[in-house]
Chains A and B, each alone.
Chain A
Amino acid sequence: MDQILIMNHLDFPILSTTIFLPLVGACLLLFLRNDTVIKVTASVTGLINFVISLLLYVDFNVATHLFQFGEMKAWIPAYNINYALGIDGITIFLILLTTFLTPLCVLSAWSAIQTRVKEFMFCILMMESAMIGVFCALDFILFYVFWEAMLIPMYLLIAVWGGPRKDYASIKFFIYTLFGSVFLLVAIIALYLNNQTFSIPAAMSGNYSFTFQFWVFLAFALAFAIKVPMFPFHTWLPAAHTEAPTVGSVFLASVLLKMGTYGFLRFCLPVTPQASVYFAPLMIVLSVIGIIYGGLVCLSQTDMKKMIAYSSVAHMGFATLGIFAFTLFGFEGALLQMLNHGVTTGGLFLCVGIIYERTHSREIFDNAGLGKIMPVYTGLFGLFAISGFAFPGTNNFVGELYILLGTFLQHKVAGFFAVVGAILAAAYMLRLLKQIVWGREDKRIIPDMNAREIIYLVPLAVFVIWMGLFPRPFVLTVEKTLMHLSSQLQTYLH
C-alpha cells in the first residue's frame, strides 16, 4: 500500500464520509413517516454529501498520480482483505458526478414517484453509497462488494417502480451483470493467489506472465464490457432503460455505465498491460461497431427513452475507443466523455421524464411540436440535444475531439469510422430535436417546466456550457494520472 499517498489536510476520513453519509441518511428515512419529510431528508442528505465531496476537489493535488485521501484498516486479516480507500485523477470526477446527480435525481422524483416513497428514496441513497464506494475502493473485495451491492437497489428501482415490462427488464439486467461479475470474482481470486493480497495498488504493480494476463484480462473485460455496455453485450441496456423510472435511467446511464469504462482504465490497463495491448484491436473494432450500430439503431427509434438508451451505446463506444487507442489524448478524451455523457444523457433522461409526467407517452410523435407550448423546456432540451451530438461549445465536443485526436494518432481507419458515427449522432439528435420543437402545430395545453424542474436541470445545463467552453480545470486535474498510465503502457506498445 505504499502507493497510497496520505495527503489529507482535512482531519476526518472524507472518503468514508462520502460513502457512508448517504447510507446513514437512508437508515434515517426508515424512521420517518411523512412523504414530504422523507423527500426533504433525502435531498438534504444528497446535497450535504455533494458539498462534502467538493472538498475532495478543493484539496486534490494535481501534481501527482498517486492515490490521495487514503484510508486503510484491516478488515478480514485471514485473507489479507483490507478496508482501503483512495482516489486519483481517474476517479475524482466520477465521484463528484455521482454526488452532483443524486440530489438532482431526488428532486426529479419529487412528484413522479407517488407510491412507496420511503423505499424509493432509500434505494437512491443506497445506490449513491455503493457507486461512490466502487470508485473509492482500493481493495478488490471491497470493490466487488460495492460493485455487486449496487445491483440490489438498481434491481428494485426497476422491478418496483418500472414500466409495464419491468419484470423482464429487471431480471435481464440483474443476470447479465451478475454473469460478468462472477468472472470478475474469479479473476480477483486468481490475482489474490498470485499476490497474496487483494490490494489493488499491489495488483497494479505486479508482474504477471502473458498467459495469466490473457485470462485475467478476458474475465475482467467480460464484466466491464457488459457494464459499459459494449457491442454485443448491450442488449440488457435498452430494456432496462425503457422500463426503469426516470431516476433509474439517469443513474444507469450517468454512473453505472461509467463503472465499466472505469474498470478498463483502473484494472485492465495497469494490471494486465500486455494483454490489453494484445486485445486492443478487438476492443477497438467492438467500440467502432458500437458507435456505428448505436447510431443506426437510434435513427429508427420512435421511443425517446429507447433512442437515448441506444445513443449511450454509441457514446460509450467512443469512451472505450479512446481508452484502447492508448494515447494520452485518448485517455483524457475517454475520461471527459465519461463525465460528459453522464451529464448530457442524465439531462436528456430527465427531460424525457418531465414530458412523460405530463403526456404519459414517450413516443416522439405524441410529444411533437412543443416549441411554442413549452419554450423553456424546449430550450433546455435543445441544449442537451446539441450537446448529445458534440456540437462545438458544448461539453461532448471536447471529449469527442480528444478521443478522435487520440484515435487518429494510432488507428486512422478506426478514427474514420468514429467520425461517421459522430455524423450519425448529429442526424438522429437533430431529427429528435426537430420533431420535439417544430413537429406539428396543435393547441394542446401542457404546462411548461415549474421552478423545481428548472432547479434540477439548470445545474446540468451550466455544466454543459462550462465544460464546453472552459475544459482546462478538468483536463488539468486528470492529466498527471493519465500521463502516468500512458507512460506505463508505452513499454508494451512497440
Chain B
Amino acid sequence: MVTLLLPEISIFLLAVIFLFISIKKNKSETSLSFAKFVSIIPFVISIFCVSGRGLLFSGAYSIDLFSQLFKVMLAFGFCVVVFMLENTDDIEREYVAEYFMFLAFSVLGLMMLVSSVELISIVIALEVSSYSLYVVVPLRKGHSKMQWEAAIKYLFFGAISTGVMLYGMSFIYAACRSTFLADIVLTFPTLVGHPLGIVALIMTLSGFFFKLSLFPFHFWAPDIYEGASNVTTTFIATIPKIAGAALLIRFTMIAPSFYMQFVNILVILAALSMTFGNIVGLVQKDVKRLLAYSGIAHAGYLLMGVLALTRDGNAAAVYYIAIYLLMNLACLYVVVLLANKGENVELDDLMGLSRRAPVLALTLAVAAFSLAGIPPTGGFTGKLFLFTSAFKQGHLTLVIIGAVNTVISIFYYLNLVRMSYSKEAPPNNSNPIKLTFNQKMVCYVLVFMILYMGILPKSIFGLFKAAL
C-alpha cells in the first residue's frame, strides 16, 4: 500500500519539510534553493509509480494508469512553478516557505482527487486542494488591495460551488444508495433518464466546471488571475485545471452516451464557453486576464472531447489538458520573468520583447501559436483530436463553432506575438532581460515539449488512450 501511495507520500513529506522550515527562525535563500531541489523528487517518484495498480480504502481510492499519469502531470506542473520563483519579487521573502507548503498541500489534495472514485473522498480531496489555494492567493508583495479582493472572491465562489456540488451529490446518493462510482455506474442509466438525475449530474459536475473555469462558472477566473501574484496565477491556471479535467473525465465516463439531454447540455456549455471566452478575450489588455479568458475558451474546447463520451474523445481531452498545461506554463513563465518586481504585465509591456529577450519572445510565440492551434504545435494536434472525436459523434455544429472560435481567438493570441516581434520597445523599457541558465533551460524544455507533442503525438496519445 505504501508503494502505491509513494507520489502522495513524497509530496506530503515535502509539505512537512516546508512546515518545519517555516517555523525556523532564520529562514532565507537556503530554503528556496532547497525547495527547488526537492520538488523534483515527487516528479521523479510519480514517473516511477506510473505502473502502479490497486484499489485502496475499501475501493474509494483507485490507483490506475489514468490517475498515475495525472499525478505525473501535477508533479511536473508543481516542479515548474517552484522553479519559476527564482529571482522574482513575487512573494514576500519571509513567507516563501509557507507559500511552498501550501502549494505542496494543494498538489497533495489534487493528487488524491485524481485517484478518488467515491463521492465523499472526492469532496475531501477537492477541499484539501482548495483551502491551501485560498490562503495562497493573498500572499503577494506590492499590490495592496487587489489580492485581497481576489482571495475573498475565490473563497466565496469556491464555497458556493462546493455547496452546489454537495447538493447534487446528495441527489445522486439518494437515487443510487451509494457513494461509490462503481455502484453508481450500475444504477446510473435509470437515473439519467429522469430529469432530476440530469439536474443532479449537472450540479455535481458544476464543482468540476468551477475548477475548470467553464462558462458560466468562470467569473472568478479573470479577477483572481489578475489579483493573485504571477506565480500563484500560474499555479491556479494550470494545476487545479488538470485535476478538474481528470475528475470530469472520470465522471462522464460513467454516463451512458445515449442520453441526449445530458450531452446537449454539455454541447451548449462548450459552445458558450468557447465563444464567450474568446470574444471577451479580444478586448483584454492585461496578459493574465487575457489568459484567464483564453482558459475559459479552452475549457470549452476540452469539453468537446468529453461530451463525445467515447474512449477516443476522452483520450483527446486528456491529451489536450496535457498540452494546455505546457502552453499555459510557457505563457505565464514569460509573464513571471518579464515582471521582475511581480507587477502585472500589460500587452504593451511586451513591446520589443524579441530584442530584449529573444528566448522569452520565442517561448511566448510558440505558446501563443499553440494556444491558437496553429501547426506544428501541440495545440493543433490536440484540437484535431478533439474536433475529430466530436465530429465522429455527429456534433458538426459544435465543430464549426469551434473552428470559427479558433479564428476569433487568433486575434488576441497573435497580439502577443505581434507586440513582441513587430513593435519596438519604448526607450524607458528597452533594457535587455538577462536570463539565468536555469530559466533558459525551463523555456527550452517547454518549447521542446510543445513542439514534440505537436509533431510526434503517437506515443503520448497511445499512453493516454491505454489509461482510459
Could you tell me which A residues sit within 8 Å of B by CB distance? 74-79, 141, 144-146, 148-149, 151-152, 155-156, 159-160, 162, 166-167, 170-171, 174-175, 178-179, 182-183, 185-186, 189-190, 192-193
Q: Are B458 and A186 in contact (CB under 8 A)?
A: no
Q: A77-B458, A182-B404, A193-B388 are in contact. List 4 more A-B contacts (CB 8 A).
A: A76-B458, A159-B422, A171-B414, A189-B399
Across the two chains, which residue of chain B brings its CB closest to A78?
Answer: B461
Closest chain-B Cβ to A176's Cβ sits at a distance in Å of: 10
Chain B positions 366 through 399: 1 when the CB is less than 8 Å from some CB of chain A, otherwise 0: 0001000011100011001101100110000001
When distances are taken between beta carbons in the complex, the residues of chain B under 8 Å from A74 are 458
Chain B positions 395 through 418: 1 when the CB is less than 8 Å from some CB of chain A, otherwise 0: 000011001101100110010011
**Complex Cα–Cα for A155 and B365 (A):** 12
Residue in B375, B391, B414 whose CB lies within 8 Å of A149: B375
Q: Are B399 and A186 in contact (CB under 8 A)?
A: yes
Q: Are B410 and A144 in contact (CB under 8 A)?
A: no
When distances are taken between beta carbons in the complex, the residues of chain A under 8 Å from B410 are 174-175, 178
- Asked if B421 lies at the interface with its beta carbon under 8 angstroms from chain A, I say yes
Q: Are A78 and B458 in contact (CB under 8 A)?
A: yes
**Complex Cα–Cα for A141 and B387 (A):** 13
Q: Are B403 and A183 in contact (CB under 8 A)?
A: yes
- Closest CB pairs A-B (n = 4): A182-B403, A159-B422, A145-B375, A148-B375
Q: Are A145 and B380 in contact (CB under 8 A)?
A: yes
- Asked if B462 lies at the interface with its beta carbon under 8 angstroms from chain A, I say yes
Across the two chains, which residue of chain B brings its CB closest to A147?
Answer: B375
Chain B positions 341 through 384: 1 when the CB is less than 8 Å from some CB of chain A, otherwise 0: 00000000000001000000000000001000011100011001
When distances are taken between beta carbons in the complex, the residues of chain B under 8 Å from A151 are 374
**Complex Cα–Cα for A145 and B417 (A):** 20
Q: Are A148 and B418 in contact (CB under 8 A)?
A: no
When distances are taken between beta carbons in the complex, the residues of chain A under 8 Å from B403 are 182-183, 185-186
Residue of B375, B387, B406 ringed by the most chain A CB atoms within 10 A: B375
Q: Are A144 and B375 in contact (CB under 8 A)?
A: yes
Closest chain-A Cβ to B44's Cβ sits at a distance in Å of: 28
Chain B 418-468 residues near chain A, CB threshold 8 A: 418, 421-423, 457-458, 461-462, 465
**Complex Cα–Cα for A77 and B400 (A):** 25
Closest chain-B Cβ to A212's Cβ sits at a distance in Å of: 12
**Complex Cα–Cα for A144 and B374 (A):** 10
**Chain A to chain B contacts (Cβ below 8 Å), 13 pairs:** A74-B458, A76-B461, A145-B376, A148-B374, A155-B414, A159-B421, A159-B422, A160-B354, A166-B422, A171-B418, A174-B410, A178-B410, A182-B407
When distances are taken between beta carbons in the complex, the residues of chain A under 8 Å from B392 are 193
Q: Are B407 and A186 in contact (CB under 8 A)?
A: no
Residue in B381, B384, B399, B414 whose CB lies within 8 Å of A174: B414
Q: Are B369 and A152 in contact (CB under 8 A)?
A: yes
Residue in A160, A186, A193 whose CB lies within 8 Å of B421: A160
**Complex Cα–Cα for A326 and B54 (A):** 65
Q: Are B406 and A178 in contact (CB under 8 A)?
A: yes
Residues of A contacting B: mostly: helix
Residue in B375, B407, B458, B462 whose CB lies within 8 Å of A75: B458
Residue in A152, A156, A175, A190 whose CB lies within 8 Å of B411: A175
Across the two chains, which residue of chain B brings its CB closest to A79?
Answer: B388
**Complex Cα–Cα for A189 and B383 (A):** 12
When distances are taken between beta carbons in the complex, the residues of chain B under 8 Å from A144 are 375
Closest chain-B Cβ to A157's Cβ sits at a distance in Å of: 11
Q: Are B406 and A170 in contact (CB under 8 A)?
A: no
When distances are taken between beta carbons in the complex, the residues of chain A under 8 Å from B387 are 185-186, 189
Closest chain-A Cβ to B369's Cβ sits at a distance in Å of: 6
Q: Are A189 and B391 in contact (CB under 8 A)?
A: yes
Closest chain-A Cβ to B446's Cβ sits at a distance in Å of: 18
Q: Are A192 and B388 in contact (CB under 8 A)?
A: yes
When distances are taken between beta carbons in the complex, the residues of chain A under 8 Å from B423 are 167
Closest chain-A Cβ to B441's Cβ sits at a distance in Å of: 17
Closest chain-B Cβ to A158's Cβ sits at a distance in Å of: 9
When distances are taken between beta carbons in the complex, the residues of chain A under 8 Å from B380 are 145, 148
**Complex Cα–Cα for A74 and B462 (A):** 13
**Complex Cα–Cα for A444 and B384 (A):** 58
Q: Are A78 and B462 in contact (CB under 8 A)?
A: yes
Closest chain-B Cβ to A117's Cβ sits at a distance in Å of: 14
Closest chain-B Cβ to A219's Cβ sits at a distance in Å of: 10
Closest chain-B Cβ to A83's Cβ sits at a distance in Å of: 10
Residue of A74, A79, A183 ringed by the most chain B CB atoms within 10 A: A79
Q: Are A160 and B422 in contact (CB under 8 A)?
A: yes
When distances are taken between beta carbons in the complex, the residues of chain B under 8 Å from A77 are 458
Q: Are B418 and A167 in contact (CB under 8 A)?
A: yes
When distances are taken between beta carbons in the complex, the residues of chain A under 8 Å from B374 are 148-149, 151-152, 178
Closest chain-B Cβ to A122's Cβ sits at a distance in Å of: 11
Q: Are B458 and A156 in contact (CB under 8 A)?
A: no
Residue in A160, A174, A186 whose CB lies within 8 Å of B400: A186
**Complex Cα–Cα for A74 and B457 (A):** 12
Residue of A146, A151, A175, A189 ringed by the most chain B CB atoms within 10 A: A189
When distances are taken between beta carbons in the complex, the residues of chain B under 8 Å from A174 are 410, 414
Residue of B312, B387, B417, B422 ringed by the most chain A CB atoms within 10 A: B422
**Complex Cα–Cα for A182 and B410 (A):** 12
Q: Are A159 and B388 in contact (CB under 8 A)?
A: no
Across the two chains, which residue of chain B brings its CB closest to A185?
Answer: B403
**Complex Cα–Cα for A183 and B400 (A):** 8
Closest chain-B Cβ to A194's Cβ sits at a distance in Å of: 11
Chain B 230-272 residues near chain A, CB threshold 8 A: none
Residue of B384, B400, B414, B418 ringed by the most chain A CB atoms within 10 A: B384
**Complex Cα–Cα for A162 and B404 (A):** 28
When distances are taken between beta carbons in the complex, the residues of chain A under 8 Å from B461 are 76, 78
**Complex Cα–Cα for A145 and B369 (A):** 13
Closest chain-A Cβ to B400's Cβ sits at a distance in Å of: 6
**Complex Cα–Cα for A148 and B375 (A):** 6
Q: Are A178 and B407 in contact (CB under 8 A)?
A: yes
Closest chain-A Cβ to B204's Cβ sits at a distance in Å of: 31
Q: Are A175 and B458 in contact (CB under 8 A)?
A: no
When distances are taken between beta carbons in the complex, the residues of chain B under 8 Å from A149 are 374-376
Q: Are B406 and A182 in contact (CB under 8 A)?
A: yes
Closest chain-A Cβ to B375's Cβ sits at a distance in Å of: 4
When distances are taken between beta carbons in the complex, the residues of chain B under 8 Å from A171 are 411, 414, 418
Q: Are B418 and A159 in contact (CB under 8 A)?
A: yes
**Complex Cα–Cα for A171 and B380 (A):** 19
Chain B positions 125 through 143: 1 when the CB is less than 8 Å from some CB of chain A, otherwise 0: 0000000000000000000
**Complex Cα–Cα for A162 and B414 (A):** 16
Q: Are B421 and A156 in contact (CB under 8 A)?
A: yes
Across the two chains, which residue of chain A brings its CB closest to B464?
Answer: A78
When distances are taken between beta carbons in the complex, the residues of chain B under 8 Å from A141 are 384
**Complex Cα–Cα for A78 and B392 (A):** 14
Closest chain-A Cβ to B396's Cβ sits at a distance in Å of: 8
Q: Are B422 and A170 in contact (CB under 8 A)?
A: yes
When distances are taken between beta carbons in the complex, the residues of chain A under 8 Å from B411 are 171, 175
Q: Are A170 and B418 in contact (CB under 8 A)?
A: yes
Q: Are A79 and B406 in contact (CB under 8 A)?
A: no
Across the two chains, which residue of chain B brings its CB closest to A176?
Answer: B407
**Complex Cα–Cα for A146 and B462 (A):** 24
**Complex Cα–Cα for A159 and B424 (A):** 12
**Complex Cα–Cα for A159 and B421 (A):** 7
**Complex Cα–Cα for A341 and B462 (A):** 46
Residue in B388, B407, B462 whose CB lies within 8 Å of A179: B407
Across the two chains, which residue of chain A brings its CB closest to B458?
Answer: A76
Across the two chains, which residue of chain A brings its CB closest to B315?
Answer: A78
**Complex Cα–Cα for A166 and B375 (A):** 23
Across the two chains, which residue of chain B brings its CB closest to A171?
Answer: B414
**Complex Cα–Cα for A147 and B323 (A):** 22
When distances are taken between beta carbons in the complex, the residues of chain A under 8 Å from B406 are 178, 182
When distances are taken between beta carbons in the complex, the residues of chain B under 8 Å from A152 are 369, 374
Closest chain-B Cβ to A68's Cβ sits at a distance in Å of: 26
**Complex Cα–Cα for A141 and B375 (A):** 10
**Complex Cα–Cα for A166 and B422 (A):** 8
Closest chain-A Cβ to B454's Cβ sits at a distance in Å of: 8
When distances are taken between beta carbons in the complex, the residues of chain A under 8 Å from B400 are 186
Residue of B369, B374, B411, B465 ringed by the most chain A CB atoms within 10 A: B374
